[in-house]
Amino acid sequence: MIIDLPNTTISQVSKALVKMREENGVVALGRVLTLIISASTGSEEVAIEAANDASREHPMRVLVVCANGDSTLEARLDAEIRVGGDAGASEVIILRASGEAASDEQSLVMGLLLPDAPVVTWWPGTAPAVPGHAPLGRIAHRRITDASAQPNPQAALAQLAASYMPGDIDFAWTRLTLWRAQLAAVLDQPPYSPVTSVHVEGSDDSPSTTLLSAWLHSALEAPTEYVLTPGATSHGIHSVRMERSTGAIDLTRSVAGVAVLTQPEQPTHSLALPRRNLRDCLADELRRLDPDELYGQVITEALARLGASQPITTGPAA
């Protein structure tokens, strides 16, 4: 069910929610958090779809803020409420504000937050320079960004490192979960000889490649180089090679999302290692609402050490 509220106020939106609960039995009980999505007009549907899918694992209230603060526009707030089959296991409230009505994003959402429930803010597109100081970031327990969605992903990663505050997280790190798990599992098997060097390759629009290199450099304390290839047909991480005295371990991913693992005296294995979609990344990050300390250490300390020890090498265009 979808209810449109053109040229409305937050008070009227709140009253409409109460009326829906009374007339249709829509309740906020069981909602575990409030997810605020800050998106530009026209791009919000992709984020809403991912939130609806994730809500089946994390029932929540979703507040979508599309603010256009252009002072030449009419001060206006249009709202849309979605429940039932149009909102997954959540209730979605879309707030489209323009002109003076968009000047204070925090005041737009304060009256719609679930009481005594944690708040997560997600910027699926362009993120503020310092998420923790942004109006919607100050009220959030967790702040989710996506460096790969920025115009310059590698520069965005550097900005995230400079502005990091506990509670920040980026999908560039979330997309590494399967890679980190697979590489850790390989090193947990004999022989247990130390890694002497690491080589990582990926696309130049993949901040995950840089973060994976920083994590390996810090965890293994081995010389690490990473190659970012411009114009690559396959986005994301391409391969990881870990050299040991007993031979090299190679994990290489093809375009189809299938990785091939080769290591000395072992058969070659094919592994499913697809790029994680928005739904999987969002659901993963909503499983924990405390600061990710490992991400904080990698984005600040490990990334700085990686940059000092080995500059980025840019390979030829594919």
Picking from 175, 136, 117, the residue whose alpha carbon sits closest to that of residue 295 is 175
Give the C-alpha separation, 135 to 124, whole Å.
16
Rounded average pLDDT over 111-138: 95
| φ/ψ (deg, to 5) at 76 | -155, 145
Positive or negative torsion for Cα 14, 18, 24, 29: positive
Provide the percentage of residues in the chain whose pLDDT is more than 70: 92
What confidence score (pLDDT) does residue 139 get?
96
**Which two tokens mark 80?**
């849309």
> Which tens digits make up the pLDDT trace of 177-230?
999 999 999 999 988 899 999 999 999 999 999 999 999 999 999 999 999 988
What confidence score (pLDDT) does residue 20 get?
82
Helices 278-285 and 44-55, interaxial angle, to 10°? 50
Secondary structure of the chain in HEC code, one letter for each residue: CEEEECCCCHHHHHHHHHHHHHHHCCCCCCCCEEEEEECCCCCHHHHHHHHHHHHCCCCEEEEEEEEECCCCCCCEEEEEEECHHHCCCCEEEEEEEEHHHHCCHHHHHHCCCCCCCCEEEECCCCCCCCHHHCHHHHCCCEEEECHHHCCCHHHHHHHHHHHCCCCEEEHHHHCCHHHHHHHHHHHCCCCCCCEEEEEEEEECCCHHHHHHHHHHHHHHCCCEEEEEECCCCCCCEEEEEEEECCEEEEEEECCCCEEEEECCCCCCEEEECCCCCHHHHHHHHCCCCCCCHHHHHHHHHHHHHHHHHCCCEECCCC
Q: Which residue has the higher pLDDT, 307 or 220?
A: 220
The reported pTM is 0.92
Give the C-alpha separation, 107 to 105, whole Å.
6
**Which two tokens mark 60?**
């929540």
Residue 318, pLDDT above cutoff 50 = no
Give the C-alpha separation, 283 to 236, whole Å.
20
Residue 235, pLDDT above cutoff 50 = yes
The full set of domain ranges for the chain reads 2-171, 177-314
**Which two tokens mark 277?**
């979609």
Q: Which residue has the higher pLDDT, 256 or 171?
A: 171
Pair 220, 260: CB distance under 8 Å: no
Residue 263, pLDDT above cutoff 80 = yes
Picking from 281, 310, 234, the residue whose alpha carbon sits closest to that of residue 58 is 281
Q: Classify domain 177-314 by CATH number.
A: 3.30.360
Residue 156, pLDDT above cutoff 50 = yes
C-alpha triplet 229, 239, 282: angle, nearest 5°: 90
Rounded average pLDDT over 293-310: 88
> Which tens digits make up the pLDDT trace of 82-123?
987 766 767 899 999 999 999 999 999 999 999 899 999 999
> Which tens digits make up the pLDDT trace of 38-51?
999 888 999 999 99
Picking from 252, 201, 255, 250, the residue whose alpha carbon sits closest to that of residue 229 is 201
**Averaged pLDDT of the chain:** 90
Q: How far apart are the first and last CA of the chain?
A: 48
